[in-house]
Structure 1
């Protein structure tokens, strides 16, 4: 059942406490929102963070979690974290044990205060409406259908208790690949430093050919230094797109490197249908910061020829949850679909086509 109700509990709690509140987490999301709070009628009393000592930073009161006992527990506290790695329920549990009474996610805050903006939206767009019926029509298994409800429920409300637990071990993907008899010839789009290959090897799969595309020069140099035992490799310092082209690209040296108009740096991108592979590709993984659909458009011939297993990240843009499904289905290859939540706060939402 999907809950699409955003109540006014946070606003009411703020009004009862003279618009005073705390943040939990002094990271990039928190700092971005703090800059906006300065021009509002809200009063940030402090930021709690277990990784910082208690001190004042640029006029902001930072409180280490160990010192949080002295704070006013009736003030609302916003978990101001927006990333893959944070278990909101675990943080909520810690704060409840300290006596805090009103704990909200950053998404609940943004839902009730629409003038505030995230620095990196990823899947979060306030006014985006998911076509649940359309998305669900592609899936036959109960697990995927339940995951769709959980994703839309959490993304619509932001309520911490609605945050789905991820399957960090990617059990569904392992089961799909296990049903595949041949050695794997892997195309890794957004290879970073070879994490997907390590996942496959650690899961007991045999990889014959590993073809990796990584446009970030810093990441690519580390990828080149990786030792690949008994595996044929092609390592390409390029991104993947629907044409062969040079585009502006942020070489951040981390997992968030992506195309950006706010930089003068440039990276080369390739259309997969023009690439000469050493072996018949039977597994394609794409996690390329929102360019997944562009990459698929440039790989039509490859996919139609080989019908590989597809592992596609769908969280970077909310519309990808439906648009990528529609595109793959339009190829008329009779793919089966499965959806797995693999990271916290519905960041890792992987579509498996097999």
Structure 2
């Protein structure tokens, strides 16, 4: 595709849309506008951000899509009259330098220079521990994309419900399932367990720092006809942070961030949350499955759970994408707790190398049942 200065549009004003705009403007190719369903800024790099589809656009110009994981984007552009729509993966191939800008945008695993996004020695150590070819291939794609971002290295996400891969043998296969869900969000993972293991599921303990998410979880339980706390116990607590200190909760559309309240900082009571030691909570509920996704406190929380993991080797479903080093240091931490006692798997369950999940399945499942 050939584009000319001011004779094309970009669709999507988020991180990749911004990175692509920055690259193209620097190359002397300024988009006419950045289109977005709900633009959060009036302009970026001098390019106006306009709400789609409210404006009248010159649809004979091409539009480059910078969004993945949302169905209907391209069809909505065609319906608006655009005849030439370039999808996001094609944009990766056409403008590879923009991916390098994206990889250092400061979001989650992209918050460090590329030189700090991979520890090749540690990654090689982990690669040899992974238990199947899919894990090894996925892990190598992630590492390669961090080092040299390109369409060829970009791992497409799996097409199943998150946390429920169908190709990992014995995952969650307990006679009695006792799940500790840390970062339970609105109960979506609980619903997945309840749908798949209604007879085996004997206890589900959910920790969530967001009061709004807890209300959504309770509404979900009500809609499912499940009486809490007969099966489910929900607690507004945080892990992986110092106990005994005031903690504040900051909520946005995609994440809940918990941090220590600074001296003299004024925080509304509704925004305060208590912290609990993960190891103590695991012991209290005697979980045999730990699922955790807590926006960057994951490693510190797992340090609290060291003794329980060593003794009981519960099945683990953990996130590896919040911090650059989580990709290798979390799996290697688990191996240091229980050397040779787990099968390890890596799956890519979201776009943009987000939702990278790590599964540790005890090699001796019978002992755990």
Query: SS of the residue aligned with 2:257?
Result: coil
Q: Select the residue among 121, 143, 148 that pairs with 1:152.
A: 143
Q: Could you tell me whether the CA contact under 8 Å between 2:108 and 2:324 is conserved in 1? A: no
1:346 maps to 353
CA distance in 2, matches of 1:351, 1:213: 20
CA distance in 1, matches of 2:111, 2:166: 25
2:125 maps to 134
1:3 maps to none
Query: SS of the residue aligned with 1:251?
Result: strand
Query: SS of the residue aligned with 2:185?
Result: coil
TM-score with structure 2 length normalisation? 0.72
Q: Write out aligned runs for 1:263-342 (5 A).
A: 264=267, 265-275=271-281, 279-333=285-339, 334-342=341-349
> C-alpha deviations, 1:118-145, integer Å up to 9, x for none?
3634445342234242230221311110
Question: Following TM superposition, by how much is the alpha carbon of 1:97 offset from its aligned partner in structure 2, in angstroms?
Answer: 7.0
Q: Could you tell me whether the CA contact under 8 Å between 1:219 and 1:254 is conserved in 2? A: no
Query: SS of the residue aligned with 2:274?
Result: strand
- Structure 2: which 5+ runs fail to align? 362-369
> C-alpha deviations, 1:130-188, integer Å up to 9, x for none?
42422302213111101112222333343345432222325536744457232210000
Q: Write out aligned runs for 1:76-115 (5 A).
A: 77=64, 79=66, 81=67, 85-86=69-70, 98=84, 100=86, 103-104=91-92, 108-110=96-98, 113=101
2:61 maps to 71
Name the stretch that deviates more: 263-272 or 38-47. Answer: 38-47
| Distance of aligned partners of 1:308 and 1:113 in 2 relative to their CA distance in 1, 3 Å threshold | closer
CA distance in 1, matches of 2:144, 2:19: 26
Question: Following TM superposition, by how much is the alpha carbon of 1:204 offset from its aligned partner in structure 2, in angstroms?
Answer: 3.5
1:258 maps to 257
Question: Following TM superposition, by how much is the alpha carbon of 1:253 offset from its aligned partner in structure 2, in angstroms?
Answer: 5.7
| Distance of aligned partners of 1:222 and 1:97 in 2 relative to their CA distance in 1, 3 Å threshold | same
Question: Following TM superposition, by how much is the alpha carbon of 1:313 offset from its aligned partner in structure 2, in angstroms?
Answer: 0.7
| Distance of aligned partners of 1:122 and 1:159 in 2 relative to their CA distance in 1, 3 Å threshold | same
Indicate whether 1:188 and 2:181 are aligned: yes
1:7 maps to none
Name the stretch that deviates more: 170-179 or 338-347. Answer: 170-179
Query: SS of the residue aligned with 1:45?
Result: coil
Q: Could you tell me whether the CA contact under 8 Å between 1:190 and 1:212 is conserved in 2? A: yes
CA distance in 1, matches of 2:95, 2:322: 16
| Distance of aligned partners of 1:113 and 1:42 in 2 relative to their CA distance in 1, 3 Å threshold | farther
Name the stretch that deviates more: 190-199 or 256-265. Answer: 256-265
Query: SS of the residue aligned with 2:250?
Result: coil
CA distance in 2, matches of 1:166, 1:245: 40
Q: Write out aligned runs for 1:26-41 (5 A).
A: 26-27=13-14, 30=17
CA distance in 1, matches of 2:27, 2:244: 44
CA distance in 2, matches of 1:217, 1:276: 22
Query: SS of the residue aligned with 2:276?
Result: strand
1:125 maps to 112
CA distance in 2, matches of 1:64, 1:108: 26
Query: SS of the residue aligned with 1:258?
Result: strand
Q: Select the residue among 200, 203, 206 that pairs with 2:193.
A: 200
| Distance of aligned partners of 1:352 and 1:48 in 2 relative to their CA distance in 1, 3 Å threshold | same
| Distance of aligned partners of 1:299 and 1:249 in 2 relative to their CA distance in 1, 3 Å threshold | same
Figure out how many residues of one structure are paired with residues of the other and give that number.
329
| Distance of aligned partners of 1:242 and 1:297 in 2 relative to their CA distance in 1, 3 Å threshold | farther
2:367 maps to none
Indicate whether 1:23 and 2:10 are aligned: yes
Name the stretch that deviates more: 237-246 or 209-218. Answer: 237-246
| Distance of aligned partners of 1:181 and 1:274 in 2 relative to their CA distance in 1, 3 Å threshold | closer
